[in-house]
């Protein structure tokens, strides 16, 4: 049953279940999404801390102070400060309990063991109070936040060793086609260098996902069935090619024989009409067209949003942006269109040579224009929707 783009997206959302949460060492959590709120286990700073190099004193009217000790970062000494006593202190060091002000070094003059104030300090100045940055118990990271490098470092400042995150999907890729050859050897007559598997791995890696297994399968029924049945332990199975209605397209039959439930087959779009989506148990399966640009379109429009949804817990979202069309495009076919384009400062130019059998358009594009099946065409200055490409 052929469906619209919006219906396909809705059906995918209905079957996209979030992956399980797992505790990971903090250093291994990069790129994952938090599965729970994180509350500060300690205050930051956890002690009164000097914000400057200088001298810790009890603020008073004295102009001269006797230096009775030193406090540097990492020290635990406390000092019994009299009214006219000072402690040499360095940035980040613990401020003695009896001190209430840090005099900046540049505002003092040293004379033996004494300092003379050249300028009276601001009372209670240059001291970072306990919890000035974060108080113990404060919310420091929300559930669903992506652990990027900065957040990881921030969480490390609390002494956290592990965090609860959503698992990343286990992904298997099957690339079908007897004509496909690996790089490094001369092409045999009728041969084609395989690029879909390489492109899929690269796009997924750019988005923070890893392909655990990549299989190349000839256009043979038994080999296709075996590859599909052995790959159904993955969270997501991606198949390239063999899903159309040609004499040597065996993917749909292999999926049926392996007990994979069909959710939809064929979308009213151009390119990439023969896309198949289904599931068996916990495994979600996409069978994508073998033409490289058609495959890349489906990868961007359907697969990546699904992967981000199940790995983050967020809503399934295509993240379409709006721009202004610089040019004209007809859509007399009655299908939704996806067109490679260049976007700059909100102006969108559709590229020439929109061929589905090559990745050359995607290699030049930074946007993928979406025109709904209900729109007969767009002209200069019309608002246009697009999906931003090449953005990790």
Q: Which CATH number characterizes residue 84's domain?
A: 2.170.190.11
For 324-361, b/e burial (b = at least 16 CB within 10 A) is: ebbbebebeeebbbbbbbebeeeebbbbeebebeebeb
Mean pLDDT by 10 residues, the chain (392 residues): 94 96 97 97 97 94 92 89 91 94 95 93 93 97 96 97 98 96 90 95 96 96 97 98 88 96 97 96 97 96 97 93 96 95 97 86 95 96 95 61
Q: Which CATH number characterizes residue 12's domain?
A: 3.40.980.10
Q: 295 and 266: one domain?
A: yes
Q: 348 and 212: one domain?
A: no
Q: 252 and 325: one domain?
A: no
Q: 109 and 158: one domain?
A: no
Q: 241 and 271: one domain?
A: yes
- What is the pLDDT, as a whole number, of residue 51? 96
- What is the pLDDT, as a whole number, of residue 391? 65
Place of tokens 């052929």: 2
Q: Which CATH number characterizes residue 139's domain?
A: 3.90.105.10
Q: 35 and 150: one domain?
A: yes
Q: 195 and 272: one domain?
A: yes
Q: 178 and 236: one domain?
A: yes
Task: Report the number of distinct structural domains present in the chain.
Answer: 4
Place of tokens 């923070």: 208
- What is the pLDDT, as a whole number, of residue 220? 95
Which residues span the domain enclosing 372? Answer: 321-388
Q: 274 and 286: one domain?
A: yes
Q: 173 and 287: one domain?
A: yes
- What is the pLDDT, as a whole number, of residue 77? 83
Q: Which CATH number characterizes residue 354's domain?
A: 2.40.340.10
In the listed set 312, 347, 370, which residue is the last one of a domain according to the structure? 312
Q: 94 and 191: one domain?
A: no
Strand partners, 330: 377
- What is the pLDDT, as a whole number, of residue 392? 57
């Amino acid at each position: 049953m052929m469906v619209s783009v919006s219906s396909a997206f809705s059906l995918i959302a209905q079957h996209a279940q979030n992956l399980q949460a797992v505790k990971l060492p903090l250093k291994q959590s990069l790129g994952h999404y938090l599965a729970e709120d994180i509350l500060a286990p300690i205050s930051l700073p956890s002690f009164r801390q000097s914000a400057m190099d200088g001298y810790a004193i009890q603020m008073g009217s004295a102009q001269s102070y006797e230096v009775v000790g030193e406090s540097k970062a990492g020290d635990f000494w406390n000092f019994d400060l009299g009214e006219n006593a000072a402690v040499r202190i360095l940035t980040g060091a613990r401020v003695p309990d009896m001190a209430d002000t840090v005099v900046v070094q540049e505002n003092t003059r040293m004379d033996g063991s004494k300092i003379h104030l050249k300028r009276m300090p601001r009372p209670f100045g240059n001291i970072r109070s306990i919890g000035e940055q974060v108080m113990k118990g404060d919310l420091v990271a929300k559930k669903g936040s992506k652990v990027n490098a900065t957040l990881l470092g921030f969480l490390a400042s609390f002494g956290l060793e592990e965090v609860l995150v959503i698992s990343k999907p286990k992904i298997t890729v099957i690339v079908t086609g007897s004509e496909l050859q690996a790089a490094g050897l001369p092409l045999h007559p009728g041969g084609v260098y395989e690029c879909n598997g390489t492109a899929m791995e690269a796009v997924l890696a750019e988005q923070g996902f890893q392909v655990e297994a990549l299989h190349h399968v000839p256009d043979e029924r038994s080999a296709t069935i075996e590859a599909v049945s052995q790959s159904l332990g993955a969270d997501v199975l991606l198949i390239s090619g063999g899903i159309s209605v040609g004499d040597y397209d065996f993917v749909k039959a292999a999926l049926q024989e392996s007990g994979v439930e069909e959710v939809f087959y064929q979308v009213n779009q151009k390119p990439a009409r023969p896309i198949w989506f289904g599931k068996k148990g916990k495994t979600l399966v996409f069978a994508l067209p073998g033409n490289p640009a058609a495959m890349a379109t489906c990868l961007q429009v359907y697969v990546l949003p699904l992967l981000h949804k199940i790995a983050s817990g967020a809503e399934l979202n295509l993240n379409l942006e709006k721009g202004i069309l610089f040019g004209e495009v007809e859509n007399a076919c009655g299908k939704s269109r996806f067109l490679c384009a260049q976007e700059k400062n909100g102006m969108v130019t559709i590229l020439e040579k929109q061929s589905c059998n090559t990745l050359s358009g995607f290699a030049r594009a930074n946007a993928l224009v979406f025109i709904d099946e209900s729109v007969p065409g767009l002209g200069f200055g019309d608002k246009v929707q697009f999906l931003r490409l090449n953005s990790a």
